[in-house]
Structure 1
Amino acid sequence: MDHITRAYLTEVISGKISCTETISDPVSLSLITKEIAGFDFPVLKSRQDWITDFGENHCLTNHPTEYHFHCYIPLENNGRILGTFELHNHKRELSAEGLTFCCNIADFIAGLLAVMEERNGYSPNLGTLVKSEIINGPKTSVQAEGKIKQLENEIEKLSTQLAEYLIFKPEESPEILTHPEIVGSSPEMQEVYSLLNRISSTQTTVLILGETGTGKELIAKAVHDASTRKQKTMIRVNCGAIPPNLIESELFGHEKGSFTGATERRIGKFEQAHKGTIFLDEIGELPLDLQVKLLRVLQEKEIERVGGKTTIVTDVRIISATNRNLLEEVEAGRFRRDLYYRLNVFPVSLPSLRNRKSDIPALATFFLEKFAKKLNRNIDGFSKKAISTMMAYSWPGNVRELEHLIERQVVMADGTLIKDIEIPGNNKQSISSAGAVKTIFENERDHIFTVLELCNGRISGQHGAAKLLGVPATTLNSKIKKLGLAKKHVY
């Protein structure tokens, strides 16, 4: 108890302790420990945060590597900070799941240190070693043994959690489809990837469903690129962008002189897609008379040019997409039931962006890098405030709206960091979807979290969150634990 050894575990896979440091005075708090000693929250600091706050990045003593993301979790017991549990990373900030797990470990370490103090009779008030039997007698040993048993049970629990945490790596699973133009690792998108893995190598007709801007064309291209027809270019047709009187000619072609203006033979999209894939976007916009002819193509595998007298056999895989509810269109008489069932062989539903908000940071970063390179701009990333703004928005235009917003931000950016984002038309809360409406529980949780951020995580005292909220500190502590905020980020 007369010194502390600080050990840095940086090669986690090989399990080596690469650097150690001895602190001779355990009473004095380090700069990091002082930073978090006032509250029961982890502190997450990036390299840029350290440079902004202290003029330089926090580097590990006697260690050559400069880390870019740091996490410091207080080792707290009975209101006293015993030290910090620190994690450092090169590439990314600690995930929410990883943070929760490491907070459990920190609680265990703090409890273990407290038991060690009690067993050794160390009194933090006296700063000396005394005989525990003299102070508390045999009662202390009984209490310590009880805590040790409790901590042993906690070790077993954490070991189980650790095994599960290290094994589960969804990004490396062979079941997940990878494509350079598709970004997202949310559970909703992984369901989509799982479906794509099953369907891509087959010849089955695919119907892609989803709101405008969800990336239906990218999914269609992913299906085509993973199929045996990938040697041919995928032919794209937007059924809603072609005048009704020209759609038949566009899809099936026409012979010279078949109608006014037909001065030469034209090859249609289906002939161009022979031995390949045709993507019919906005299939719900197709007129009823054309739906009949498309049905024949699906059934007979042959087409007839406008004004032609012979049939032409085609080998085409059809991928269609729509933002409409085709079953409702069928009931309303605007879409043929037999064609619907022909197209709906293998439906793939794409989630809206508001239903996979965990993908927003990755998508925003992807678009930032894309447009920064295109416009030759040097932009490092987004501030936490900018990410929070994007996470709070409901995105009625989905990924396409996010893409256009990021392009605009790159054009307007003044420095190397996008600090704030103003979303056009977001002056008032959108209630266009149930996902944008918060419950009373969520509003209370967000309000308390905002006040805690304002107070830098401090709960009690003159400048604490409890005073601002007008409640006793004990009440606020109970509320924080009930709402699940006790181990969240403090910015």
Structure 2
Amino acid sequence: MHGTIQSLSSRINSPSGSNAPVHLEGIPLLGSTLGLAELLDIVFRRLHPLFSIDCAALLIYDEKITVISEAYVSTIADGMDEPRTAVINQPCELKAAQKTVAEFSFPVIKSKDEWLEEENQNHCLINGEAGYLFHCYIPLEVENKILGTLELHNHARDFSAECLTFCSNIADLFADIVFFTRQRSQQINVVSPTEKLSRPFNQDDEAGPEAAATQLFELNEKLAVLNEADTLEDFLNKAADLFPAMNASFKLQLEEFRAFSEKQETGSIYTGQQQTSSGNYPQIIGAGPKMNKVFALMDQVVQSDSTVLITGETGTGKELIAKTIHAASARKNNPMISVNCAAIPANLIESELFGHEKGSFTGATEQRIGKFELANNGTLFLDEIGELPLELQVKLLRALQEKEIERVGGKATIKTDVRIISATNRDLITEVEQGRFRQDLYYRLHVFPINLPPLRERSEDIPLLANFFLTKFGKQKAGFSKKAIKQMIHYNWPGNIREMEHLIQRQILLNSGPVINEMNIPVTGKTMVNGTGTKQQIKTIEENERDHIFAVLQLCKGRVSGPHGAAKLLGVPATTLNSKIKKLGLNKQHF
């Protein structure tokens, strides 16, 4: 689908009958896949001065990844003022080294020495060039399928991390274009715009080579303005303006690409049919390894009367866990009574827990039954147990040990049969060491501990939780865009699930469309003002480490070990990196 440009240039610049690449110096090309040649030429003209890249090659594979169906190569050498772009128009089967490259599912940087060590030869480009010392291969991947490879090659300079990151984004653009074109070609017959712009040169045409040269020159003058395009959209707009006869076709391509890009970016991810829990507790949203451990602990304790201590940061769902344990226990037909120890004034907590007799203190105008009595034969949930004053800790300890209480102002001893589930966001061991919490009470409560992970450590559950809250608060909404999901996955969530619930509820009210395309994530973290008066966000060492490891894992497509894994790039053993991934709450499915 190279049309007139390819036919004419092959006659002018290539030997007769030759399969040599078609060279167009300083001239943008119209390739067979939505202008990939132009786009590569545009991109390379910016990559070379920015990262000192000597060569960029774009290889497009067939569906079975056995043949290079299209190839474009842009190079610049010493003494050249402008890049030289070539179209390889002869499909060819993948050779051994090319098969190795085609199997890369993540960006790979290799030197000539590495190629010699592994394959006994340096990598040879599709145009036959084998003199480059440094190579970079970035796969064109969409929906877990490799469509092609963006190759970068240098004579004397290795590739920086910044270059790799930037070019990975460029590769994503190429991949989207190829994917879009293949989808479109399955629905309609794609005809090259250049084939409609002018009649292909015929060997028997009376005008002969002179007319062909004039035709090529006039077309090149028009096409030169496309080199000013910075994006595919800009390219299509300029093409539509240059060729009025093809305006409708170019506009259609532009509209289809916009629609496709919008669908890819803002399409709903979850349909509500996904499994939201991998345990026996469907009311608890979570299917990742962290929550599976919680479910396993719950399975062991629900049928017993053991005292449970639930720990975790604020907003992680400690009360929901307590309610679920009670609902699955033998006491489920009796009440579960909750007491927030942090919400009750210190002088009223004793009366709240144990009750009081009429006239036992000023204002006690009648007898009151305490929470222990109300929870008899059921469960008493003591939330924020770490906030309980020391003087009350002694009385609580006695009630737990003796299984009996006395009301405030009363003399009678009242037997109770209560299961205790307590929760705290404090480190009770530290509280004990600093004398703010009784050690004997701690051991009495710490019979069966369950620690809830913060939301930032269970990122695989964030899409499930988001979909749950969307269904709860915005049944008219279709879902979240990929961008919105990524925003939530990358956010630190200091308020955990409670913060997420409120944020989604607010976003539903603010969003008028069927899909939530973007989340108004709050700006968190410390900031400082530099010498120019600009605010700069300050991250902790752990936050910087997490961001850096996440970025490298994304580049390596989640691969940890091996010669091209993240561990090697980071300079640490794979076991150490796996430990850090687990500690930082990262998950491979997001890379």
- Normalised-by-shorter TM-score class: 0.5 to 0.7
Partner residue in 1 for 2:467: 365
Q: Deviations over 1:14-34 (max 9, x none)?
A: xxxxxxxxxxxxxxxxxxx97
Aligned residue identity for 2:408: V
What residue number does 1:320 align with? 422
Matched with 2:349 is 247
| Structure 1 contact 210–350 (Cα < 8 Å) conserved | yes
Out of 53, 57, 65, which is 1:76 matched to? 65
8 Å Cα contact 1:394/1:430 also seen in 2: no
Which of 209, 213, 217 is residue 319 of structure 2 equivalent to? 217
- CA drift of 1:232 comes to 1.6
Residue 388 of structure 1 corresponds to 486
Structure 1 position 181 matched with structure 2 position 283: yes
Distance 1:257 1:479, change over 3 A: closer
**Cα distance in 1, alignment partners of residues 589 and 383 from structure 2:** 43
| Secondary structure in structure 2 of the residue aligned to 1:79 | strand
Written as runs of structure 1 = structure 2, the 5 A alignment for 1:33-112 is 74-77=63-66, 79-80=68-69
Secondary structure, counterpart of 2:499 in structure 1: helix
Q: How far did 1:106 drift?
A: 11
Q: 1:434 aligns with which of 530, 542, 553?
A: 542
Residue 471 of structure 1 corresponds to none
**Partners of 1:198 and 1:441 in 2: how far apart?**
35
- The one of 379, 400, 404 equivalent to 1:277 is 379
**How far apart in 1 are the matches of 2:540 and 2:396?**
35
Deviation (angstroms), 1:80 = 4.2
Cα 1:439–1:265 shift into 2, 3 Å: closer
Letter in 2 for 1:283: I
- Alpha-carbon offset, residue 393 of structure 1: 0.6
TM-aligned CA deviation for residue 448 of structure 1:
9.6
**Structure 2 counterpart of 1:343:** 445
Give deviations 1:30-89, integer Å, cap 9, x for gaps.
xxx979x99xxxxxxxxxxxxxxxxxxxxxxxxxxxxxxxxxx9531353499xxxxxxx
Q: Which residue of 2 aligns with 1:415?
A: 513
Task: Name the CA shift for 1:265/1:74 in 2 (closer, same or farther; >3 Å).
Answer: farther
TM-superposition CA deviations, 1:213-241 (whole Å, max 9, x none): 00000000111011001112211100000
Contact 2:376/2:418 (<8 A) preserved: yes
Distance 1:488 1:244 in 2: 48
Verify the 8 A CA contact 1:354 1:435 in the aligned structure 2.
no
Contact map agreement 1:177 1:196 (CA 8 A) in 2: no
Change (3 A) 1:269 1:213: same
* Corresponding residue of 2:497: 399
Structure 2 gaps, min length 5: 1-31, 38-61, 71-90, 92-140, 149-273, 528-536, 558-563, 570-587
SS at match of 1:348: strand
Alpha-carbon displacement from aligned partner over 1:109-148 (angstroms, at most 9, x marks no partner): xxxxxxxxxxxxxxxxxxxxxxxxxxxxxxxxxxxxxxxx
Q: Is the 1:303–1:314 contact (alpha carbons within 8 Å) kept by the matching residues of 2?
A: yes
Shift of 1:178: 2.8
Q: CA deviation at 1:413?
A: 1.1
Tell me, in whole angstroms, the C-alpha distance in 1 between the residues paired with 2:381 and 2:349.
Answer: 14
| Change in 2 beyond 3 A, CA 1:243/1:425 | same
**Are the structure 2 counterparts of residues 389 and 172 from structure 1 closer, same or farther at C-alpha, using a change threshold of 3 Å?**
closer
Distance 1:78 1:489 in 2: 30
Find out whether 1:265 has 2:363 as its counterpart.
Answer: no
CA distance in 1, matches of 2:392, 2:363: 21
Q: 2: CA distance between counterparts of 1:357 and 1:435?
A: 15
Classify 1:263/1:210 alpha carbon distance in 2 versus 1 (closer, same or farther; 3 Å).
same
**Contact 1:409/1:421 (CA < 8 Å) preserved in 2?**
yes
User: Matched residue of 2:474: which SS?
Assistant: helix
Q: Report the 3-state secondary structure (helix = DSSP H, G, I; strand = E; otherwise coil) of the residue aligned with 1:414.
A: coil
Q: Structure 1 340/416 Cα, relative in aligned 2: closer, same or farther at 3 Å?
A: same
**Residues 198, 387 of structure 1: CA spacing in aligned structure 2 closer, same or farther, 3 A cutoff?**
same
- Matched length: 307
Structure 2: how far apart are the matches of 1:345 and 1:74?
A: 59
Instruction: Tell me which structure has the larger Cα radius of gyration.
Output: 2
Q: Deviations over 1:234-256 (max 9, x none)?
A: 11100000000000000000000
How do 1:129-148 residues align onto structure 2 when only pairs under 5 Å count? none
Q: CA deviation at 1:430?
A: 7.1
1:437 Cα shift?
A: 3.8
Is contact 2:556–2:565 with CA below 8 Å preserved after alignment? no
Q: Tell me the equivalent position of 2:332.
A: 230
The answer (yes or no) to whether the contact 1:431–1:437 under 8 Å persists in 2 is no
| Contact 2:276/2:464 (<8 A) preserved | no
**CA–CA distance in 2 between the matches of 1:425 and 1:178?**
37
1:488–1:372 distance in 2 versus 1, CA, 3 Å: closer
SS, match of residue 76 in structure 1: coil
CA distance in 1, matches of 2:484, 2:275: 26
Aligned residue for 1:307, secondary structure, equals coil
> Which of 451, 456, 468 is the equivalent residue of 1:354?
456
Q: Structure 2 vs 1, CA of residues 438 and 80 (structure 1 numbering), >3 Å: closer, same or farther?
A: farther
Return the TM-score normalized by structure 1. 0.56
Local SS of the residue matching 2:468: helix
| Paired letter, 2:495 | G
Distance 1:338 1:446, change over 3 A: same
Identity of aligned residues (%): 56
Q: Whose relative contact order is higher, 1 or 2, with alpha carbons under 8 Å and at least 6 apart?
A: 1
Q: Shift of residue 104 of structure 1?
A: 9.5
Displacement of 1:171 after TM fit? 6.8
1:426 deviates by 4.0
| Matched-pair contact (CA < 8 Å) for 2:276–2:282 | no
Listed one character per residue, the Cα deviations across residues 246-304 of structure 1 (whole Å, up to 9, x for unaligned) are: 00000000000000000000000010000000100000000111100110111100010
Determine the C-alpha separation between the residues in 2 that align with 1:233 and 1:285.
Answer: 24
**Deviation string, structure 1 residues 322-346 (Cα, Å, up to 9, x no partner):** 0000011001011000000000000
State the alpha-carbon separation in 2 of the partners of residues 379 and 407 from structure 1.
12
